[in-house]
Chains A and B, each alone.
Chain A
């Protein structure tokens, strides 16, 4: 059973290898100059403004928390999807109740304007 996950294992190993190799190559092959501008963040050629350590707006956090909650909802769909054919309409209605309850929460979120980005 573990054998089916070899591609993922190799992907992880390759990604790690690539990350280390790219950093190592730039250290070994690259010339090092210490000009002031090289220490600036790259901002598509525009001089960066402000600090990178500024706190981010709470909106990002709100979206992240909503994402987490809907992510948990989605994870429940997987076991249902496996047995949905066996269970038939019974399972379908059960899932419908689950989704509809969450839909109430979704409309509450929409109503409060939590997903509006101004």
Chain B
């Protein structure tokens, strides 16, 4: 098996995430934005695998790439003229926004640079059998939140039906 340095994979994944994320907020066709978001979410799953969080990666692919993306694309297709429309993804405050974002980026960079070592730190912090740990905690210590999740899902089901219901009468 050939050895690949995790750092290189990290940089490639980060690059794809940033490029696709930029595409989401800059493309003119809203349908293309949705497709770029799919790529972005899928690459984030790759990042989770790199951090040994396989369960999170599976959840990311199953829920975000698998169904949130489908939902989003249906939404675009549902709203009639939107799929075809050229959108302008900027406004009058673009210059101010750029300035503030740059300020935040520099501040974040300095903080990260001097305070944390992201990649190796996260890698060593997580046990390799983390799905076992998740399962154990979910079923014992966090039993009540786990059951509440099902009630939340039922509430969402009823809400979805109530909202999307077509009146027969």
Contacts and interface: CB of A to CB of B under 8 A. Distances in A.
Interface stretch (A21-29, A41-49, A72-80): A72-80
A58 B78 contact: yes
Contacts, number: 134
Size band of the interface chain B makes with A: 35 or more
Contacts of A78: 55, 58, 131, 135
B27 to A, nearest CB: 17
A104 B150 CA distance: 10
The dominant DSSP class at the B interface is: helix
A73 B152 CA distance: 11
B55 to A, nearest CB: 7
A74 B151 CA distance: 15
A41 to B, nearest CB: 15
Interface string B116-151: 000000000000100110111011100100110111
A46 B36 CA distance: 32
B158 interface: yes
Interface in B67-90: 67-68, 70-71, 74-75, 77-81, 83-84
Interface string A101-118: 110111011001010000
B136 A83 contact: yes
Contacts of B79: 55
Interface residues of A, number: 48
A2 interface: yes
Interface of B: 1, 4, 6, 9, 49-50, 52, 55, 58-59, 62-63, 66-68, 70-71, 74-75, 77-81, 83-84, 128, 131-132, 134-136, 138-140, 143, 146-147, 149-151, 153-154, 156-158, 160-161, 164-166
